[in-house]
Amino acid sequence: SFYSGGDVWFSFTAPATGIVDIETAAGVVTDGGMAVYSAASCSGPFTEVACDDDSGTGLMPLLNLTGLTPGATYYIRFWEYGNDNNGTFQICLHGITSIPSGDCVYQLQMFDSFGDGWDGSTVGISVNGSPFTNYTVTGSSGLA
């Protein structure tokens, strides 16, 4: 996307799970903010669902949304912090379309906030005070 001042708007339809992750990455724009809104139409009125400033890599926003209404349209507003730097940025929306069934009761999502990759990383997980179980994460970067 190319940003030339003011706000940039996008829209998406929530998947059946109601779970969506929205990542941004710097281009020329290196410090952004983002909010997600619900509305009956693109002319509003808008109700803020979530917002973020610096949870992603660097000073870019990241949102992990749950509880969205399946099939509903949501609106993403992106802005450059300070509204004084024009240029490119990246935005990527991941809609989780199904939740595993069977023995998998919990879903864990992690974000590579430093952008240096996952390969060979180890994470320890404890559920409801149980002993930690260590897992090795494989992959390159981003969401795992």
Torsion 1-72-22-122 (CA) sign: negative
Cα separation of 43 and 23, whole Å?
A: 25
Q: Mind listing the pLDDT tens digit for each residue in 83-113?
A: 878 889 999 998 877 766 666 555 666 666 6
Residue 49: give its domain's CATH number.
2.60.120.680
The DSSP result for 13-71, as a single string, is E--TT-EEEEEEEESS--BEEEEEEE-SSTT---EEEEEESSSSSTB--EEEE-SPPTT
Based on the fold, state whether residues 44 and 105 are members of the same structural domain. Answer: no
Q: Mind listing the pLDDT tens digit for each residue in 16-55?
A: 999 999 999 999 999 999 999 999 998 889 999 999 998 8
Question: What's the confidence (pLDDT) of residue 144?
Answer: 45
Question: What's the confidence (pLDDT) of residue 6?
Answer: 77
Based on the fold, state whether residues 57 and 115 are members of the same structural domain. Answer: no
Domain that holds residue 134: 100-144
Based on the fold, state whether residues 46 and 57 are members of the same structural domain. Answer: yes
Based on the fold, state whether residues 79 and 144 are members of the same structural domain. Answer: no
Based on the fold, state whether residues 56 and 82 are members of the same structural domain. Answer: yes
pTM, rounded to two decimals: 0.69
Q: What is the mean pLDDT of the chain?
A: 82
Based on the fold, state whether residues 104 and 34 are members of the same structural domain. Answer: no
In the block, residue with structure tokens 């992603």: 56
Based on the fold, state whether residues 78 and 104 are members of the same structural domain. Answer: no
